[in-house]
Amino acid sequence: MNLNGVLLLNKPRGMTSHDCVMKLRRFLGTKKVGHTGTLDPDVDGVLPICVGSATKLVQFLTAETKEYIGEVTVGFSTTTEDATGEVVERQPVTKVLSKVDIESTLTSMLGISCQTPPMYSAVKVKGKKLYEYARAGLEVERPVREVTIHELELLDDISYVEDCVTFKFRVLGSKGIFIRTVAVTIGEKLGYPAHMSDLTRVASGSFKLENCVTLEQVEAGEFQLLSIGEALTNFPTVRVDHWVEKLIRNGVKLRPEQITPAMKEGLFLTCNQAGIPLAIYEWSEAKGEYVSVRGLW
């Protein structure tokens, strides 16, 4: 079975993204399987998987925006910033947190901000993942990253359980954002320690949860792969003639007049006259030419 394309997987909880790749290699009968960005073991939801020749797309499918449905528990924080960690600080919620208070807090977090990745994360520092340092009991300086929260809203009623307050939220954030840290920040702004108690990724770029399949469905053969062209529908596309196609297949730089309309900003997809994807190109201002970033044949 020769499979090439993108599988939209609904990653289950209790498995790492790598665990899913290993299972899919067995189910699909190929070693050429790669995921497009990790999801924590306790998080489920959208995980695009590249299969066969589509593994060439991995670097291009790490979406700029991702959407999540999360839950924050206000009242105590943990070492991992989620429900799996040990309690670090506990402060009973003694005042009523109104819907207005919470919605005002969420609105105040919209836009660009700086995040420090959790120690229990896969971010690398000096060649090692932060969680490796954390498990060894070592604290290291973590790189601060700029992230953007495009949308952040309260989803349902506020629940009071013992001395804690819990509520769900929806967030649309930029690439690299940590929703665990978003939950912690919500608590800080409300005046209490907090952690993320639940999380599901419902969209990665244009890929939605309702279009995903489970591992069980894949094992039973109940799935379809997106073609390379279908997976790249968000990319600007230029169709080229037969002669330019030959140049592209040889990885040749293209002159401005060979790409119509002009594509001077960002990556774009080139296709032949039949609509078959050829390569991803971008404009080089320094060279005054279009350069090939990745061939797709």
Q: How far is CA 73 from CA 33, 52, 159, 268, in A?
A: 36, 41, 9, 42
Which of 12, 88, 75, 95 is CA-nearest to residue 46? 12
Q: Which tokens is 62 given?
A: 């790490």
DSSP per-residue letters across 1-63: ----EEEEEEEPTT--HHHHHHHHHHHHT-S-EEESS---TT-EEEEEEEEGGGGGGGGG-S-
**Radius of gyration in angstroms for the set of CA atoms belonging to the chain, rounded to a whole number:** 22
The answer to whether residues 51 and 225 touch, using CB atoms and an 8 Å cutoff, is: yes
Q: Which of 19, 40, 156, 241 is catalytic?
A: 40
3-state secondary structure of 255: coil
Query: Catalytic residue at 40?
Result: yes
SS (H, E, C) 95-152: CCCCHHHHHHHHHHCCEEEEECCCCCCCCEECCEEHHHHHHCCCCCCCCCEEEEEEEE
47 vs 44: CA distance, rounded Å:
9
Q: Which tokens is 150 given?
A: 């495009």
Q: Which residues contact 287 (CB under 8 A, 6 or more apart)?
A: 253
Please name the residue that has the structure tokens 């592209």.
248
Active site residues: 40
